[in-house]
Each structure stands twice: as structure tokens, then as C-alpha cells.
Structure 1
Amino acid sequence: MLRKIIIGSILCVSSLLAGTINIAAAANVSYAINDLKKEFNKIYPDTKVNVTLTSSGKITAQIRNGAPYDIFMAANMKFPEALYKEDFAVTRPLVYAQGSLAYLSAKKQDFKKGIKLITNPSFKKIAIANPKTAPYGTASVQAMKNAKVYKDVENKLIYAESISQAVTYALTAADVGFIAKSSLYSEKMKEYKEGVNWYTVDSKLYTPINQGIVLLKRAENNKEASAFYSFILSKKAEKVFKDFGYLVP
């Protein structure tokens, strides 16, 4: 109900909005953000949207240290919930999309083995995002532990600072990597084929990644920021997220 109320509050006077808003977004959003900005600017053509992309943990630390962000789009609910409790946010966190994991390799792999694939003795390195700062890294470790393969591969894990860096590692520095499925829908990833270079990780192995958004304290009276916040929870944004492999609650 709250989500519907917020969506319904999108301002109709778009022509009156002309300013700049600063968005801090989890790295996995990098693949969809340009399309989201494009759709938003169709409604609010005079509003400039600046986006900073990095891990949710790093963004949270930056916000606590006074970073001038208006909106936080996190890779899970933990970080925005903490900021809301600490009075850094003026809206309680809402889920804007659900992320999912995929395996990725530059070389052809036998994905019929499922997660057991990563126990291949010929594999020397397996890339994941840092589970201490990136929710997708946490989900990757959870999937491995639930499948009872974590101990077999723990010493082969290499840690990326963000989920976008995990993509780079998976294709250059590792035999295979756990990545955000959303990254596979970007233009530059089209050469990598499902069932050949990548495959979806069984969602039963990890807790669904509810990605949360909050309007931050400094933007409490910022109409442009409120408009973007509402847009991210709208049907137009929902279509963009679905096009990039996300689930939408």
C-alpha cells in the first residue's frame, strides 16, 4: 500500500523541475542506470541526474561521513535500514527490485553440473564480490555454503570490491565468477552466451536479494529527488529493471 501511495505521488508539473540530484547506487545498478535516467528525463527533461556507483557498504560509510547524496539505491535492505534507523534517511526503505546471481566464465563451461561446477580441480581462481561490503558477495558465499562446496573452494576465492568488478575478474583473472545476473543484459556482454559462458545460480541456494531505496536527509525538501525516488518505484522503472534481468516485487 505504501509503495502505491508513493508511486501515485509523482509530480505532474515536470516542466517546473530543473535542478541536479545526486544518486548513490550499488554497483549492480550500473547496467540499468542509463536506461533509468533516460526514462526519467522523458518526464523531467530539465533535471540532471548524477550517479555514483560502488558497493553498498562503501556508500553507507560515505553517507555517514557526510557525502552529498540525495538518494541511496542499495543492493540489499540491510544498509538503507541502518541509515534510516540512524536518521540519515527520511523514508523507510522500500524494495525497488530483486537481484539474482549468475555464474560467468570467459571459456565454455558445463553448467549442467550446477554449482558443483566450481569444484572442478582445474579451476585455480573463483571470483566473487567482497561479502563484507557487497550483498551479492554475501549471497554468493551463502549459495556455496548451502550447496556444501564452500570449504572445497574457499582457498580459491578472489574478492572484488564490487559486483561490477567481479564481472571483470570473472572474465580476466578467474576461471569462473559469481556475478549479478543484471550485468549480462548490457550491450558489451552480448558476446557471452547463456549455457555456454553463463548460467543462473539456483535461487533456492540463497536468500532473495531485496534491493532497497531511501530518500536521504539532505533531500528531504528536494522536489527533483522526490520525483526520482517515486519514479524508481513506478511501472516505467519496473519495465527497465525487468529488461535487465531483475525481479520486481
Structure 2
Amino acid sequence: MKKGIRSFFLLVTAIWFGIGCQDKDPNKITVAAAANMQLPMEQIVKKYTETYGIDCDLIIGSSGKLTAQIVEGAPYDIFVAANMKYPEAVYAAGKAKDLPKIYANGKLVLWSLTHESPISINTLKEPQINHIALANPKTAPYGVAAKQVLQYYGLYDSLKDKLVYGESIAQTNQFITSKAAQIGFTAMSTVMSQAMRNKGMWVAMDPEHYTLISQGIVLIKRERDNEMEVQGFYDFLFSEEAKEVLKDFGYLMDE
């Protein structure tokens, strides 16, 4: 009974986000993307639509929650995740057409809009820092990376009471930009975006101190009439044009 109720609410959520609009355009592609990919995916989708005339619906959320929705049958076509763990879980559940592939490697940064001078990991120990934002490690790969960095520097236990968790990088960014948190961990794609570039202070975390954020993509296996269009967008995500967008947002390519 609980599973049925959960599936019902997932369906309602899908419709709420506009997936039901596919009935009006049978060629429209529905892409579920991790929150850290929202801004670059918006640019990639725009380029694809301008070039090929095919519209895409973007569904944004944490990788963990999107995975749960896909396993429950949410009508997505492509899943663009923030690491490989979740696409592999989709594949293991029999919901993917093929094995997931890595499309980019993400970078973690520490970011503050309350500081006017350069920041570092030691900034977290300043007495005026009351809240430190990070994505939930249970559902967001960038949250896992942030926790690993804190543990590497021996700060996780001492700062635990100051940590505030966003459901995704998108909500984490809201904590930082609203200054509800004086500082926080986010994806480099956030601080490299046009909207946030040159705002506040940020520093990249040493990738040696957290597990490589290899971001994966997978084609969802389901009945649809626009298989050719879906495959076309999937292939476009590995094109040089898409790679240039990802590079502009600070992602590491071909590594």
C-alpha cells in the first residue's frame, strides 16, 4: 500500500513539473538532471533546441531523489546525475537501456557572500560563522565530497552543530546566496555561472581530499515514440559543443 501511495505521489509530482505536456509535443524530451547541472543543462538544452528544433523539459533535483523516482517509474527519458553511483543504481534496477557513461568530472568549492577577503578551509573556524551550508550527503554527491573534505581536515565533528543541509546543491546555494549560511560548499559550476561569477569569495577544494566526482548519464528504458530524438539529445551531450559549455562552468572533461 505504501509503495502504491508513493508511486501515486511521484506521478503527481511529474505532472506538476510539466511532464504531462509531452502529450502536446510527442517529440519533446524529458531530462532529469542533478541540481549542480541546472545552469549548464539550461544552456545545452537551449543550444540543442535552437539547432534541432526539439524541445526539452528539465526536471531538477538531487541525484538520490531522481533515482528513486526513476526506479518507481517516473516518465523521464535521460538521467544526468552528479556521480556514477545513482545511474548505476538505475541500471541495476533494470531501468536503463545501456550502462551509464561519464560525461564530466565535477569540482567542489567553498563559497561565501559575507566575506570581502579571500577565504580558505580555516575560515570555517571563525567565530562569526554560525551556519555552514552543504548538500545532504545521503542524496547529493557534492554533499558527500563536502563531508569528506571536512573529515580530512578534522573539522567535521567540531563543526557538526553549524552544518545546515540542503536537499540538493540548488537549495544549498539558496542558503549561501540568502546569507542564511555565512559560507558553504557548492559545485564550481555555480560560481562560474554568469549570474554568480565575481560574486563573493570562493576557493576550490583540493580534489585529492575528496572522491572524484565522476558524473554519469544514462538513457532510461521505457516505452516512447520519440526514441530517435532522445538518442539524438543523448549523443549531443557528448559533442564538442556541449563539452565547451561544461568547461565554461568549471567541469573537467576527458579525465
Compared CA separation, residues 40 and 151, structure 1 to 2 (3 A): same
| Other-structure match for 1:173 | 180
Are 2:233 and 1:228 equivalent residues in the alignment?
yes
What secondary structure does 1:24 align onto? Answer: strand
The range that moved more, 166-175 or 128-137, is: 166-175
What secondary structure does 2:185 align onto? Answer: strand
Are 2:105 and 1:98 equivalent residues in the alignment?
yes
What secondary structure does 1:187 align onto? Answer: coil
| Other-structure match for 2:44 | 36
Structure 1 residue ranges, 4+ long, deviating more than 6 angstroms after superposition: none
Matches of 1:186 and 1:116 in 2, distance apart? 25
Determine if contact 1:74/1:213 at 8 Å carries over to the other structure: yes
Matches of 2:113 and 2:92 in 1, distance apart? 42
What secondary structure does 1:236 align onto? Answer: helix
Matches of 1:40 and 1:153 in 2, distance apart? 44
Match of 1:53 among 30, 48, 60: 60
Match of 1:122 among 128, 134, 142: 128
The range that moved more, 32-41 or 62-71, is: 32-41
Shift of 1:219: 6.1
Shift of 1:122: 2.2
| Other-structure match for 1:21 | 29
Are 2:166 and 1:147 equivalent residues in the alignment?
no
Matches of 2:238 and 2:31 in 1, distance apart? 15
What secondary structure does 1:188 align onto? Answer: coil
Matches of 2:107 and 2:43 in 1, distance apart? 19
Matches of 1:158 and 1:105 in 2, distance apart? 14
Matches of 1:181 and 1:30 in 2, distance apart? 12
Aligned residues, how many? 228
Are 2:71 and 1:87 equivalent residues in the alignment?
no
The range that moved more, 35-44 or 89-98, is: 35-44
Match of 1:212 among 216, 219, 223: 216
Correspondence 1:173-212 to 2 at 5 A: 173-193=180-200, 197-212=201-216
Shift of 1:185: 2.2
Compared CA separation, residues 139 and 81, structure 1 to 2 (3 A): same
Shift of 1:109: 5.2
What secondary structure does 1:233 align onto? Answer: coil
CA deviation string 1:58-101 (max 9, x = no partner) = 10011111110000000000000011111100111111111111
CA deviation string 1:184-221 (max 9, x = no partner) = 1222213515xxx2121122211110000000001687
| Other-structure match for 2:138 | 132
Shift of 1:123: 1.1
Matches of 1:123 and 1:96 in 2, distance apart? 36
Gaps of 5+ in 2: 1-25
Determine if contact 2:71/2:93 at 8 Å carries over to the other structure: no
Shift of 1:42: 3.8
Compared CA separation, residues 122 and 240, structure 1 to 2 (3 A): same
Matches of 1:219 and 1:135 in 2, distance apart? 30
CA deviation string 1:150-205 (max 9, x = no partner) = 11211110000110111111232111000111011222213515xxx212112221
Determine if contact 2:70/2:76 at 8 Å carries over to the other structure: yes
Gaps of 5+ in 1: 1-17
TM norm structure 1: 0.87
Q: What RMSD in Å do the two structures reach over aligned CA positions?
A: 1.8
Determine if contact 1:90/1:220 at 8 Å carries over to the other structure: no
